[in-house]
Copies of this chain bind each other. A is one copy, B any other.
């Protein structure tokens, strides 16, 4: 942040406001404080006849890698409506019977991933503008070494494990990229 978006001043400080305990961008001219908060990324594990809807990314980051349909939640949405919208946008697919399934903290990138289980309506899907292709995959067909993000791998691992056990339970955890680039994964 180089300029104040309220008054246009270039006199932006990175300082701790009164009664606060964190560094914020503060305009020294008009005194406005700018807060930056974590973002929610929301999506679906959409199933049709035992197969899961996967999307091959047409955008960076991780162009060409496989993922579940998911994206940034928008203002004035609900979490489930955003997850359904992302599935529609990325795979032109409709979902039904959504259930909250996984919540993962990704604190190193200030994101919270929230995924729903859902039924893929009529098994119909085709690539949206952010996907190169879409596919319905069973567990053996998932390209485990070619997934876009660790959170996608964790969500799918839980899904297939829960399905084998005949019971889906909610999962909450952290996936953290450490400074040595290793992943630290915690389940609560």
Q: Is the interface of A mostly helix, strand, loop or mixed?
A: loop
Q: Which residue of B lies closest to A39 (CB)?
A: B37
Q: Restricting to A90-139, which residues have a CB under 8 Å from any CB of B? A: 98, 100, 103, 105, 107-108, 110, 112, 129
List, in ascending order, chain B residues with CB within 8 A of A62's CB: none
- Structural contact, A77 and B38, CB atoms closer than 8 A: yes
Q: Which of A2, A78, A80, A107 has the most CB of B within 10 A?
A: A78
Chain B CB within 8 A of A15 CB? no
Q: How far is the CB of A101 from chain B (nearest CB, A)?
A: 11
Q: How far is the CB of A173 from chain B (nearest CB, A)?
A: 9
Contact A73 B5 (CB under 8 A): no
Measured CA separation A34–B78 after assembly (Å): 21
Residue A8 is within 8 A (CB to CB) of chain B in the complex: yes
Q: Does A46 contact B (CB under 8 A)?
A: no
**Is B40 a contact of A100 with CB atoms below 8 Å?**
no
| B35 near A72: Cβ-Cβ < 8 Å | yes
Asked, given contacts A3-B6, A19-B129, A77-B107, whether A100 binds B37 with beta carbons under 8 Å apart, the answer is no
A107 CB contacts on chain B under 8 angstroms: 76-78, 81
Tell me if B100 and A103 are in contact (CB < 8 A). yes
- Residues in B whose Cβ lies below 8 Å from that of A3: 3-8
Nearest 5 interchain pairs by C-beta? A78-B105, A3-B8, A75-B110, A5-B5, A1-B5
Contact sample, A vs B, 7 pairs, CB 8 Å cutoff: A1-B6, A3-B3, A35-B72, A77-B105, A78-B174, A80-B105, A100-B188
